[in-house]
Chains A and B, each alone.
Chain A
Amino acid sequence: MFTVDVNLEQCSPGQVVAMDIVDDRGITLVGRDTVLNSYILSRLKELQVERIQIYADNEKVEWNKEKNRADIHGIYQESVLRLREVTHRLIKGTPVCSKDIESISEGIFLTAQEHEAIVKYLQMLRASDEYTFGHCINTAFYCMLISKWIGLDTTAIKLSIQAGMLHDLGKARIPDEVLNKKGRLTAEEFEVIKKHPELGYNLVRQVEALSSEVLDGVLHHHERMDCSGYPEKISADGLGITARIVAVADVYDAMTSDRVYKKGSTPFKAFRMFQTTGVGIFDPMVVSPFIHRLASYYTGCDILLSDQSRGSIVYVPPHDITSPIIQIGQDYVNLAERVDLEVIALL
């Protein structure tokens, strides 16, 4: 995709920002890959931004978007089917080699450039339950985005995809009544669930020639930087990068998905968690790039506010990603100024 340097006056809604727009103090105003709309254009004009970089050939970009959205759906559904098949073979003890795993991760990796489409697709999906392996594939996609956004090389990205898709296979060995219980888990039931990283590790170890980095990601995806995790309560020193990535991807998808026992939280609630209780627990070098890049992709989403009014997100301020600007009809609502309002759902 080509980028062009243009005057702000020549820009119109729908064009896509190619490089972070930064003010003269170095503060990011609009992140790369944000789709321009009239709100953002008028704010940039007020702030006297004169030239920006956008992706050229916009019709081509639009057409590609439609084409690739279809591809993501196809790849996603196929990945779920293949993962289910691989899991059944692992449980039966039928040989699985790393090529079987790689064929799935290679498929997912084909979508690696389609950040916005992936985020929007996963957001639309939202319902993921333990049976359909949806959560595993969601996590794999998020792992891919994270490892790209923290600058890992292609090999490492693919390994993180594999770790992401395999991380919860141990749940196939957890009894149904516990796994899909609608109410609160008892202490004993929780202890049973906590076995799934180890169970998963034992299943996945059977795969011939699977990278130890992936195995580590599966075993340690519930470990935390402050030794508060499980099963081994290891500290940050013992926690490899793949496990740190899976931890963040797993929790983000878990929080934002609907489950049998709860409705999914909004991305903003998840961002807030990472910025508060998540500090010291997850690696900030993983969290910070992830939530900042991710936040801008929710621009354009329709949402429901806590006063039941409906609007759409026109801008997610990079310095305050939990307080987006919402457009309702012709008005703009700045959630940073309205402590009484919050986004309660994405539509």
Chain B
Amino acid sequence: MKILVAEDDLVSRKFLVKYLSQYGDVDMVMDGFEALEAVILSFQEDMPYDLICLDIMMPKVDGVKALKAIRELETQRGMLPEKRSKVIMTTALAETQFVQQAFEIGCEAYAAKPIDIAKLTEVLRKLGLIK
């Protein structure tokens, strides 16, 4: 599984990367623009990400904007809905209107920080990313 973690907080980032590494190769970035560049690169290599974890609050570009731009890139590429990356938004506070916006644009789940490992594993299983 190919995974991208976009997370500006060091602790959360290390945590997620460590946990997700057991399931595949994890790339990590620290802001929304870098996330976009990582996605563009993955297209160029013809190896799109299976899973993207996007922090809703990042410096420079927030997660919702980044999500919108990523979906836009996928549409431009002509990706079928079932082939698009599964996106999990991570959020430190109950930023409900951002979470709402993210769902409207198209994400699969959100995870409140501190992240509950058991719940996250369950979500990954439900999304068909792990057995």
Contact = CB atoms under 8 A, between A and B. Distances in A.
B72 A225 contact: yes
B32 A285 contact: no
B68 interface: yes
Q: Report, as a range, how many residues of chain A touch the other chain.
A: 10 to 19
B33 interface: yes
A91 interface: no
Nearest to A235: B72
A288 interface: yes
A288 B41 CA distance: 10
A288 B37 contact: yes
Contacts of A236: 72, 75-76
Given A284-B69, A288-B37, A288-B40, A279 B32 contact: yes
Interface in A277-295: 279-280, 284-285, 288
Interface in A29-77: none
A288 B60 contact: no
Interface string A215-234: 00000000001100000000
A276 B32 CA distance: 8
B2 to A, nearest CB: 14
B72 A288 contact: no
A284 B60 contact: no
B66 interface: yes
Interface in A252-276: 272, 274-276
B120 interface: no
B36 interface: yes
Given A275-B61, A285-B40, A288-B36, A280 B69 contact: yes
Contacts of A288: 36-37, 40
From A272, A276, A279, A285, name the one whose CB has the most chain B CB atoms within 10 angstroms. A279
B24 to A, nearest CB: 17
Contacts of B61: 275-276, 279
Contacts of B36: 279, 284, 288
A103 to B, nearest CB: 34
B124 interface: no
Interface string B49-74: 00000000000110001101100110
Nearest to A282: B69
B60 A276 contact: yes
A284 B31 CA distance: 14
B33 A275 contact: yes
A270 to B, nearest CB: 14
Chain B interface helix/strand/loop/mixed = helix
Interface in B31-50: 31-33, 36-37, 40
Contacts of B32: 279
Contacts of B33: 274-276, 279, 284
Contact of B69 (A272, A274, A276, A279): A279
Contact of A275 (B40, B60, B72): B60
Contacts of A272: 60
A276 B65 CA distance: 10
A279 B72 CA distance: 11
Contacts of B60: 272, 275-276, 279
Given A275-B60, A276-B33, A284 B65 contact: no
Contacts of B73: 284-285
A226 B72 CA distance: 10
From A226, A284, A285, A288, name the one whose CB has the most chain B CB atoms within 10 angstroms. A284
A274 B66 CA distance: 13
A274 B76 CA distance: 20
Interface in A81-123: none
A275 B32 CA distance: 8
A38 B14 CA distance: 35
Interface of B: 31-33, 36-37, 40, 60-61, 65-66, 68-69, 72-73, 75-76
26 contacts: A225-B72, A226-B68, A236-B72, A236-B75, A236-B76, A272-B60, A274-B33, A275-B31, A275-B33, A275-B61, A276-B33, A276-B60, A276-B61, A279-B33, A279-B36, A279-B60, A279-B61, A279-B66, A280-B65, A280-B72, A284-B36, A284-B73, A285-B73, A288-B36, A288-B37, A288-B40
Please provide the 8 A-B residue pairs with the shortest distance between their CB atoms, ordered closest to farther: A275-B33, A276-B60, A279-B61, A284-B36, A280-B65, A280-B69, A288-B37, A279-B65
